[in-house]
Structure formats: C-alpha cells, structure tokens
Amino acid sequence: MVEKDNQGLVKSCLELLAKAVARHQLLPKYSSVLVGVSGGVDSLTEVPYKIIKAPINRVVKNRENRCYFCSRERRKKILEFADKLNIFRVALAHHKEDVAESLFLNIIYNGEISVPTPKQSIIQGRFYIIRPLYYFEKERIEELARVIGLPNNRNLCPYYKESKRELIRNFLKRIKKEHPLVYKNIFRSIFHINRAYMP
C-alpha cells in the first residue's frame, strides 16, 4: 500500500509509462510481453520469474569489448526463451540516463550517432525490444523503488568498474555536479537534431 504522500509520485510514474506506451505503440491490445530483469531497481518487481542461466563469463572474460558481447549473449538467451513461449515483445528497463550514456558510447567507441529506441525491431521484425521506462530519469525510478519497498541490489558484474559505460557514466556525473541538466539535455538532443548544422 502506497502512503498518501507518495501517491503523486506513483501517479506521475504511471503517466510517464503511459506516454511511452501510447506514443510508440509498445503494447498492442492482447499482446504478451516477456520482461527482462537484471535485478537492479530499474527493472526489479515482485512477480513470478524464471532465472535463465548462461555461461556468459566464459564468452566475455578474454574479450576487449566485454560489455558488447555480454549484452549480445544475454539478449540472445532472452530471445530464445521468449521464442519458446511464443512471446515476441521483450521489455527492458532502459531509461534516460542509459540512452544518454549510449549516445556517448556509440559516438566515441563506434563512430556513429545512435541510441536505444523505445521500440526496436529485432531479427527482421520477428521480435520487438520495448523500453517502457524510456522517459524516466533514474532518480525517479530509485525514488519509486524506495517508496514501494524494492531492494536496491548492487551491480554484480565483476567487470563493471572497468567498463566503458562506467567510464562514460562517471564522466557525465562529474559534469552533472556543475550542470544538473546534463542528462536531460543530452536526452532532449536526440529529438532535436539541427540538420542545418549536420553534413
């Protein structure tokens, strides 16, 4: 039961969720969705779940770009599981900060301007990755998790401190101390491309 003082937070979160679902047509009527859960507050909730075990560390431990291969292997396992259940939409909990960090990662390390999208076609449209928390800021998710009593699990990845994402995240956090709107502005920029100043 959510206390009365926190009902405004819950209401605003539901409105943001509804905005993403409606604007990007994430959930057609009667559609089934498999929810990919990492265990962090941005994806954890108290529902029945299935743990998918995969020996990913063997695949990534000697790779230079561990995060990319780890993400690819995890997504592959999730899609294989979804396929067995005849579910073709997979919801992931990426939020504004994830999008902003991904933009910098792709510019710096891949030489391209790209970000995760709210609804992403996979395997020629057989599956869709959907991101219902696309318009959420991480702080709001953490606040909601606290209000409804979800545990705040630590990052269990043995390599997270040396990951490129963590490097970008720490860089942006330092900027945020002087410019609190940094994440919001980076996220806003992907919807406001000034094509007159692009080649």
Q: What percent of the chain has pLDDT over 70?
A: 90
C-alpha–C-alpha distance, residues 101 and 103, integer Å = 5
Report, as an integer, the average pLDDT of 92-104.
Answer: 95
**Structural domain containing residue 108:** 4-197
In the chain, the number of structural domains is 1
Q: Which helix (H) or strand (E) holds 8?
A: helix 7-23
The predicted-structure confidence for 57-66, as pLDDT tens digits, reads as follows 777 777 777 7
C-alpha–C-alpha distance, residues 37 and 34, integer Å = 10
Q: Do residues 68 and 86 touch, judged by C-beta distance below 8 A?
A: no
Report, as an integer, the average pLDDT of 128-139.
Answer: 95
The dihedrals phi and psi of 190, each to the nearest 5 degrees, come to -70, -15
Q: Report whether pLDDT(19) > 70.
A: yes
Burial pattern 160-177, b for ≥16 Cβ within 10 A else e, equals: eeebbbbbbbeebeeeee
Q: Do residues 155 and 67 touch, judged by C-beta distance below 8 A?
A: no
Query: In whole numbers, what is the pLDDT of the chain averaged over residues?
Result: 87
Q: Report the predicted TM-score, pTM, of the whole model to 2 decimal places.
A: 0.86
Strands 34-35 and 119-122: unpaired
Give me the CATH number covering residue 48. 3.40.50.620
pLDDT at 153: 65
Report, as an integer, the average pLDDT of 70-77.
Answer: 85
- Residue found under tokens 């900060």: 97
